[in-house]
């Protein structure tokens, strides 16, 4: 197996790890895996934290090691990379659709614009699709989400903030 | 740029984030309502993440074999360089709001500057933090307005918090030798520019929501030399208890 094929295989293993907070999305889809490097006897995985203080990071660290060890990689090192900063702009449309189907409104707009970052565009209710929604709290069940309320179906829901 | 200077600079910033994160963690279960309780602790979480990244880098640059945990758990009060404003207690919800509001304005400017420096690690940390802080700024600004324009009592209580905390604002724009070196290297804006930025923002925002900027000009100082108000010692007593009782305990 060539190194490129092995890398691909490792990425496939990593894509079997779901985000501890959002089980329908895996860490590769989230854009957290920034590199797979072979270092002599070690395997180095570069991860980008979604939020500086994301408490799921430790858990992801353990899950990655556990997964790769079960595939025969005994020496795995995880390095956190901060640059470029992780952004919701890296989520594919397919990933966003998975979020929506799971009940989390996906980020609206681009984090690169101030307007998108502070989310001044309407957020659609993931349940009924209405745009008649309002923000309840800028911080929801996790730091990456805000709490919204749909004024049509009256369901509260999480919105994945643009960042 | 001397590595030790950069280490001290990161330690100062990291310490302020760490101590604010601890203060915010104390808000857990004490928010005025459930959603705000979650918001307050989430502010703390972001700050803790920023503190961790900054202190890991500070420890690495220092090169004395200390880890970020050593810095957090094994330094005495006089070895901490956080701003005095960061350690002020949650006397009242309004105090927590005002402390974080002013610090957040400061941090947004600091991180904006650092996001552009020619240092991969530091600019990476800052580029991430600047977006998190944008959310803090908006959330806390909303509270300043809500309490300022709310009832007579909320107005009075937030004005009291502003008045009582005002003497700690001066530290945010004072300069010592290290600051001047960092400014020269493009890692920080001048004290004068920071003062103008803070004053312009605070005063326009407060006036807009019927609050006022205190007239008093006395500003306290000392944290850059490790001098603090009595409150820091109590924070450390709690934060460092386990490591002091059971040195190097791990779980």
User: Which H/E stretch holds residue A72?
Assistant: none
A61 interaction partners in chain B (CB closer than 8 Å): none
Tally the domains of chain B: 1
- Residue A152's domain comprises 89-160
CB contact under 8 A, A53 and B48: yes
Same domain, A66 and A26: yes
Of the partner residues A52, A137, A141, the one whose CB lies closest to the CB of residue B128: A52
Residue where one domain finishes, among candidates A80, A104, A121? A80
Q: Which chain B residues contact residue A81 at CB under 8 A?
A: 124
Is-contact B24 B41, C-beta < 8 A? yes
Which among B46, B123, B125 is the nearest to A51, CB-wise?
B46
- B251, part of any domain: no
Q: Is residue B250 part of a domain?
A: no
CA dihedral B213, B215, B220, B224 (to 10 degrees): 40
Cβ atoms B152, B166 nearer than 8 A: no
A interface test, pick of B112, B121, B131 with most A CB neighbours within 10 Å: B131
Secondary structure class of B150 (helix, strand, coil): coil
Which pair of tokens denotes residue A32?
Answer: 């957290």
Instruction: List the pLDDT tens digit at each of the 251 positions of chain B.
Output: 899 999 999 999 999 999 999 999 999 999 889 889 999 999 999 999 999 999 999 999 999 999 999 999 999 999 999 999 999 999 999 999 999 999 999 999 999 999 999 999 999 999 999 999 999 999 999 999 999 999 999 999 999 999 999 999 999 999 999 999 999 999 999 999 999 999 999 999 999 999 999 987 799 999 999 999 999 999 999 999 999 999 988 87
Residues 6+ apart with CB under 8 A from A18: A24, A25, A26, A27
In order of A38, A95, B117, B249, the CA distances from A50 in angstroms are: 24, 15, 22, 29
Please report which residue ranges of chain B form alpha helices under DSSP H: 3-25, 34-62, 68-74, 84-87, 93-114, 120-148, 152-165, 177-184, 191-208, 231-239, 241-245
**In chain A, which residues have their Cβ closer than 8 Å to the Cβ of B139?**
138-139
Cβ within 8 Å of residue A111, ≥6 positions away: A87, A88, A89, A117, A162, A163, B131
Tokens of B103: 């610090």
Q: What's this model's pTM, rounded to 2 decimal places?
A: 0.92
State the nearest Cα–Cα gap between A111 and chain B, in angstroms. Answer: 9
Token pair recorded at residue A34: 């920034």
User: Are residues A76 and A97 both part of a single domain?
Assistant: no
* CATH, residue A55: 3.30.300.130
Query: What's the domain count of chain A?
Result: 2
| A117 lies in the same domain as A48 | no
């Amino acid at each position: 197996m060539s190194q490129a094929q092995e890398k691909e295989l490792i990425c496939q293993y990593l894509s079997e790890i779901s985000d501890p907070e959002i089980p329908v999305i895996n860490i590769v889809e989230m854009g957290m895996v920034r590199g797979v490097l072979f270092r002599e006897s070690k395997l180095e995985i570069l991860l980008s934290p979604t939020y500086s203080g994301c408490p799921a990071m430790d858990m992801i660290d353990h899950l990655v090691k556990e997964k790769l060890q079960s595939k025969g990689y005994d020496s795995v090192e995880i390095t956190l990379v901060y640059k470029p900063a992780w952004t919701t702009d890296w989520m594919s449309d397919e990933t966003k659709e998975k979020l929506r189907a799971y009940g989390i409104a996906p980020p609206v707009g681009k984090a690169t614009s101030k307007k998108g970052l502070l989310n001044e565009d309407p957020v659609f209710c993931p349940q009924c699709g209405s745009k008649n929604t309002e923000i309840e709290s800028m911080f929801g069940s996790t730091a990456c989400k805000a709490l919204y309320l749909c004024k049509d179906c009256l369901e509260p829901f999480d919105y994945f903030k643009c960042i | 740029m001397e590595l030790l200077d950069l280490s001290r600079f990161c330690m100062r910033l990291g310490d302020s984030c760490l101590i604010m994160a601890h203060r915010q963690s104390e808000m857990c279960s004490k928010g005025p309502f459930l959603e705000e309780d979650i918001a307050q602790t989430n502010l703390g979480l972001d700050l803790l993440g920023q503190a961790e990244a900054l202190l890991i880098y500070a420890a690495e640059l220092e090169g004395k074999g200390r880890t970020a945990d050593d810095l957090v758990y094994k330094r005495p009060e006089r070895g901490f360089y956080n701003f005095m404003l960061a350690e002020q207690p949650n006397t009242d919800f309004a105090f927590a709001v005002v402390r974080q509001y002013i610090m957040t304005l400061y941090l947004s400017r600091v991180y904006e500057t650092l996001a552009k420096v020619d240092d991969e690690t530091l600019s990476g940390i800052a580029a991430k933090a600047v977006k998190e802080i944008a959310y803090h700024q908006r959330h806390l600004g909303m509270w300043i307005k809500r309490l300022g324009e709310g009832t007579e009592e909320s107005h009075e209580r937030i004005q009291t918090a502003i008045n009582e905390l005002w003497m700690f604002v001066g530290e945010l724009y004072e300069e010592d030798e290290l600051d001047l070196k960092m400014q020269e290297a493009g890692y920080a804006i001048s004290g004068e520019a920071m003062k103008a930025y803070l004053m312009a923002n605070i005063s326009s925002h407060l006036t807009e929501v019927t609050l006022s900027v205190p007239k008093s000009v006395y500003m306290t100082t000392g944290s850059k030399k490790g001098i603090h108000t009595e409150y820091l010692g109590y924070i450390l007593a709690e934060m460092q208890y386990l490591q002091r009782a059971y040195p190097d305990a791990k779980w």
